[in-house]
């Protein structure tokens, strides 16, 4: 049995480096997260070496058993990785050497850490995309559930944060369903761009050994191998795509957070955030703060910066591998962890909180949200051009505001002052609830259209 903690990369080229160099060079504190992927890649590579008879059957079994022991020790938290061995690849090889001896020295035949880390990282990104898609779908199910519970509730739709037109709360919530639906497509694109196996590229020029790439792809679950070895070891586009995809999810989570924060304020009173996800003030006993949503908003803002940061790292690098690439993993790991937490928290906030739709109707009435419907009344029933009807209704709104009245508090006599053709039918157009049912287009807030949208959303999630 070999000595423990053997330094795999101790060479005649550079027997010793400074402590500062070791500190900046080591990556095991970050890339230890690729443990499972590196074990899987090493097992697959061992099979390919065995097929070439570089490893005997007995040596293959010995390596596989040794790797299984390492996995078991890791699960039992009995492994302490060595910074001296720099990264997860060298640490696993060193651990294997300490368990099975010199046979472990054969495992790196025909490969490089360059294609090894590229493969490990791709496997991690593929698994992470799958996890995120499952999480997003759970959140989307909660959105559908809340939408079904709020199909008849009216809230103001906003433009420029000003009350614009009435919409159903269900319609508003389903807008977020569409955003996260696009995010799922983005993650599927990331999977497609990541699903290429770099193994066989070795350091950059390709391996001197005729490794069975079909075998490697089958063992690791890749659909195909990389076409060009230089591109294979230098390509980190998939990491950029991954971070950009996370940025889009973050964008939508941040948008939802900001909206719910506004809605939960005393000024809006449209959203009652669960006590489990809000906190009190240290000095003001009456306050309850939407801290969970504010934290989501803050974290998602940081996540969105990471794709730009990685682009800066990769920018202007010649082919092929550079240590600059060592920075990519911290970015993707941290972003993934933060986003995963944010999605979980948002899912629970939506699940446990409630909406105050009664106040939504009042806000619409107080702020003339059916004014556009009144303009359409003059177009449809009085054959007045829209531009002229717009001016008439604007005058009525100004009059109501000056007299501190809502539109439904105006008498027919008052309304006729602005146009003598106005009749009692105008009150049907003033009614806020009629506004949503009057919409005709398939993507509109008409409750019938929203019900159809919810059904289609449920079918989508069952695919």
Catalytic residues: 160, 281
Radius of gyration of the chain (CA): 31
Strands (E), 170-287: 271-272, 279-280
Contact criterion met (CB below 8 Å) for 207 and 174: no
Sign of CA dihedral 317, 321, 322, 327: positive
Q: Is the peptide bond before 320 cis (omega within 30 degrees of 0)?
A: yes
**Which CA distances in Å does 44 have to 102, 214, 228?**
19, 11, 20
**Which CA distances in Å does 420 have to 378, 409, 412, 463?**
11, 19, 10, 57
Tokens of 442: 């398939």
CA pair distance 140, 462, nearest whole angstrom: 12
**DSSP letters spanning 28-83:** HHHHGGGHHHHHHHHHHHHHHHHHTTSS-HHHHHHHHHHHHHHHHHHHTT-----G
């Amino acid at each position: 049995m070999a000595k423990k903690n053997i330094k795999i990369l101790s060479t005649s080229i550079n027997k010793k480096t400074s402590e500062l160099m070791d500190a900046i060079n080591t990556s095991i504190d970050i890339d230890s997260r690729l443990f499972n992927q590196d074990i899987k890649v090493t097992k697959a590579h061992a099979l390919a070496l065995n097929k070439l008879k570089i490893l005997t059957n007995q040596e293959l079994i010995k390596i596989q058993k040794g790797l299984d022991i390492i996995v078991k020790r890791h699960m039992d938290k009995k492994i302490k990785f060595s910074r001296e061995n720099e990264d997860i690849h060298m640490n696993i090889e060193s651990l294997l050497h300490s368990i099975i001896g010199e046979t472990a020295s054969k495992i790196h035949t025909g490969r490089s850490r360059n294609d090894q880390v590229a493969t490990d990282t791709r496997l991690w990104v593929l698994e992470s995309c799958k996890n995120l898609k499952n999480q997003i779908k759970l959140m989307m199910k909660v959105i559908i559930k809340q939408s079904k519970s709020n199909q008849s509730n009216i809230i103001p739709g906003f433009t420029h944060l000003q009350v614009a037109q009435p919409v159903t709360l269900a319609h508003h919530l389903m807008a977020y369903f569409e955003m996260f639906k696009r995010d799922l497509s983005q993650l599927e694109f990331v999977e497609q761009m990541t699903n290429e196996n770099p193994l066989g590229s070795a350091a950059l020029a390709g391996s001197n050994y005729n490794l069975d790439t079909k075998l490697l792809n089958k063992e690791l679950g890749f659909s195909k191998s990389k076409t060009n070895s230089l591109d294979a070891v230098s390509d980190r586009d998939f990491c950029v795509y991954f971070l950009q995809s996370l940025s889009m999810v973050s964008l939508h989570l941040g948008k939802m957070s900001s909206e719910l924060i506004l809605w939960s304020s005393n000024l809006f009173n449209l959203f009652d955030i669960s006590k489990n996800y809000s906190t009190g003030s240290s000095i003001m006993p009456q306050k309850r703060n939407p801290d969970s949503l504010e934290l989501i908003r803050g974290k998602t803002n940081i996540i969105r910066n990471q794709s730009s940061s990685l682009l800066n790292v990769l920018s202007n690098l010649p082919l092929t591998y550079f240590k600059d690439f060592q920075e990519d993993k911290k970015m993707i790991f941290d972003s993934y962890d933060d986003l995963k937490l944010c999605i979980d928290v948002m899912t629970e906030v939506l699940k446990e909180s409630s909406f105050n739709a009664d106040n939504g109707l009042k806000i619409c009435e107080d702020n003339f949200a059916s004014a556009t419907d009144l303009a359409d009344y003059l177009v449809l029933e009085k054959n007045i051009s829209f531009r002229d009807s717009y001016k008439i209704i604007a005058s009525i709104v100004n009059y109501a505001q000056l007299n501190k009245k809502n539109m439904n508090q105006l008498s027919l006599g008052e309304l006729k002052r602005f146009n003598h053709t106005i009749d009692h039918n105008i009150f049907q157009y003033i009614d806020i609830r009629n506004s949503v049912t009057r919409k005709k287009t398939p993507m509109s807030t008409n409750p019938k259209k929203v019900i159809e949208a919810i059904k289609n959303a449920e079918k989508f999630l069952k695919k």
